[in-house]
Structure 1
Amino acid sequence: MSVSKLANAPSDASTNGAVVGCLPWIEDAGRVAPNDARALSKVFFVRLRELDEGTREFQYARNTLIEMNVTLVRYAARRFRNRGNGEMEDVLQVGTVGLIKAIDRFDIDREVEFATFAVPYIVGEIKRFFRDTSWSVHVPRRLQELSGDIKTAREELGGQLDRTPTVTDLSGHLDLSEDEISEGLVAAAGYTAGSLDTPAGDDGRTTDDITYARALGERDPGMELVENLHALAPLPDRLDERERHIIEMRFGQEMTQIQIATELGFSQMHVSRLLSRILTKLRTGLLTDR
């Protein structure tokens, strides 16, 4: 049945001899030709405005509009096909979300073609998807958008200047300060992350023995000891002379408790109690002074 016949079909006729309310039944709306979909969409939008949300006919009209215009999603998604085939299914899904938003917000009285109205919604949803999911490092949205502007400006200026544009060139072209341009360039590095298994040699070597993972330094356990000793340094001055002497013998001369006891004429038990008291005093000072 032609579009004109479908649009004007009475309540007892359609392609299958069935209707939903006053709308013709379309068996496979996704296979309607674009030109036919454009004309049919107007009919469905007019009826959709008259229907109560939640009714069977409203759901049919809305779902049919989505299926008939899904070609707009595929059209808008083409410009993002170089982002990787693995993400195209996700792109089509989020693009469909944009299509649904456009359908829910479209006003037939504005006399604007639905395709003209819907494509910006679809593209915006897809761009938002890439902005929120494609960056390897979380970067504020402002810097993500700035990085995109810088990328476009570099391509334009590169063709005009026949060289790689400098920060000054980009600053003048985008009417931004050089600090803002530098910030955007740094942020752009967060779009992709390199593998730690990437060869780290500067001479083009590709041996698996020299990778960033092997070249990266490890945490030095001695650094924490240095920090603790630095914090502890002023605390012995708070001890009396005998306490400092005991600490010197035990940790400076590495004498045993028995040797210290013999040196001072004390019992080993008494030396042990003195050391415990002195260390508690130092530990308390170390924690409270930080």
Structure 2
Amino acid sequence: MAHVRARNRKHPHDDAPDTSAQFRRLAEMPEGPEKKALRQEVVRAWMPMAARLSRQFRNRGEALEDLEQVAHLGLVKAVGRYDPARGNAFESFAVPTIVGELKRHFRDHMWGVHVPRRVQELRNRVRSASMSLATTADDRFPPTADIAEAAGLTEDEVRTGLQALESYATLSLDATLTDTGDGYSLIDTFGSAEPGFDRAVDREAVRPHLRRLPEREREILYLRFFCDMTQSRIAERMGISQMHVSRLITTTCARVCERVEADRAAAA
């Protein structure tokens, strides 16, 4: 009588086949082509259930075909690891394995930026709570306090989860920011390197050391770099040879650079 009741009891998964006999055979068979073929037969029998589980994760930015592939991978792992001697039904072991594989796929491959696992979990709880609250509040985004109460989180945790909502997918730099059709994109808002800033910093760094130079060297540098005079004209004006002017410019610039580098090293 008990056997009849067990046979008539509704299976918790309508699409779950009866493969208990195959699993018992797998447990007794040695590794080899025959066992591999039987294992593949069991996997094919359970693929409809794996596909059904993958559909629970649709509309989250991933193609259903890819989700089914991930679910099938989890199914293969479950079939390989299942031990019928433990006395549990296969589906009670397979379902968490498949769902876990799907969640890992989203965690490891679908986030546009690296987000810690704890923050990902907060994001999921905040998302679920806000969606359930929105259905009863004219679809308006609920306040942080209401989300915290519904999700069993602190308001700080909710704010962290809300920030993670925007980290799930990245925005292309070519994405258009306006609807005016002028082609203005996100990359147009980025600044570019400005060499003038570095020149301003360098000038301020050498200024005090230039003031300490002897008057002749300071005048030679002024004529060469600020008045754009040639070395020959400077030599004529100063009453010295062009070679002497060249040597003074080289040694003076090197001395000033050494002092600037010493100042930067001391500041660091």
Q: Under a length normalisation based on structure 2, what TM-score does the superposition of the two structures give?
A: 0.79
| 1:134-149 paired onto structure 2 within 5 Å | 134-149=110-125
1:251-284 deviation line (CA, Å, top 9, x unaligned)? 2343332332233221111111111112222333
Partner of 2:6: none
Distance in 2, Cα, partners of 1:248 & 1:179:
60
Equivalent residue for 2:79, pick from 95, 103, 125: 103
Equivalent residue for 2:25, pick from 30, 47, 71: 47
Distance 1:96 1:233, change over 3 A: farther
Check if 1:38 corresponds to 2:14.
Answer: no
Distance in 2, Cα, partners of 1:168 & 1:232:
56
Give the superposed CA RMSD.
2.8
Distance 1:280 1:147, change over 3 A: same
Partner of 2:60: 83
Check if 1:268 corresponds to 2:242.
Answer: yes
Distance in 2, Cα, partners of 1:157 & 1:215:
36
Would you say how many aligned residue pairs link Structure 1 and Structure 2? 251
- The alpha carbon displacement at 1:71 in A equals 1.4
- The alpha carbon displacement at 1:49 in A equals 1.4
Question: 2:28 corresponds to which letter in structure 1?
Answer: E
Check if 1:258 corresponds to 2:208.
Answer: no
Question: 1:158 corresponds to which letter in structure 2?
Answer: A
Question: 2:17 corresponds to which letter in structure 1?
Answer: R
- The alpha carbon displacement at 1:36 in A equals 9.5
SS at match of 2:58: helix
Distance in 1, Cα, partners of 2:222 & 2:94:
81
Higher RCO (C-alpha 8 Å, min separation 6): 2
Equivalent residue for 2:68, pick from 88, 92, 109: 92
1:226-245 deviation line (CA, Å, top 9, x unaligned)? 33334434443564444333
1:60-85 deviation line (CA, Å, top 9, x unaligned)? 2322221211112111111123235x
Distance in 1, Cα, partners of 2:224 & 2:15:
94
Question: 2:20 corresponds to which letter in structure 1?
Answer: K
Partner of 2:258: 284
Distance in 2, Cα, partners of 1:176 & 1:231:
52
Distance in 1, Cα, partners of 2:209 & 2:116:
45
Distance in 2, Cα, partners of 1:232 & 1:149:
57
Distance in 1, Cα, partners of 2:15 & 2:172:
50
Distance 1:195 1:271, change over 3 A: same
- The alpha carbon displacement at 1:218 in A equals 3.0
Question: 2:193 corresponds to which letter in structure 1?
Answer: R
Partner of 2:184: 210
Task: Work out whether residues 199 and 206 of structure 1, in 8 Å CA contact, stay in contact via their aligned partners in 2.
Answer: no
Distance in 2, Cα, partners of 1:249 & 1:49:
93
- The alpha carbon displacement at 1:177 in A equals 4.2
Task: Work out whether residues 76 and 123 of structure 1, in 8 Å CA contact, stay in contact via their aligned partners in 2.
Answer: yes
Give the gaps of 5 or more residues in structure 2. Answer: 1-12
| 1:139-218 paired onto structure 2 within 5 Å | 139-162=115-138, 163-201=140-178, 205-218=179-192
Distance in 1, Cα, partners of 2:210 & 2:195:
24
